[in-house]
Amino acid sequence: MNKRVRDPRIKWWNLKNSNQVEFREKLLKENVWNLDLDANTMWLEMSSCIRRV
Q: What value, to the nearest 5°, has the Cα angle with vertex 12 and ends 51 and 30? A: 35
- The per-residue pLDDT for range 8-22, each reduced to its tens digit, is 677 777 788 888 888
Give yes or no for residue 4 having a pLDDT over 70. Answer: no
Contacts of 7 (CB under 8 A, 6+ apart): 51
Give yes or no for residue 1 having a pLDDT over 60. Answer: no
How many whole angstroms separate alpha carbon 47 and alpha carbon 53? 10
The answer to whether 49 and 23 are in contact (CB under 8 A) is: no
> Which pLDDT score, from 0 to 100, does residue 7 have?
66
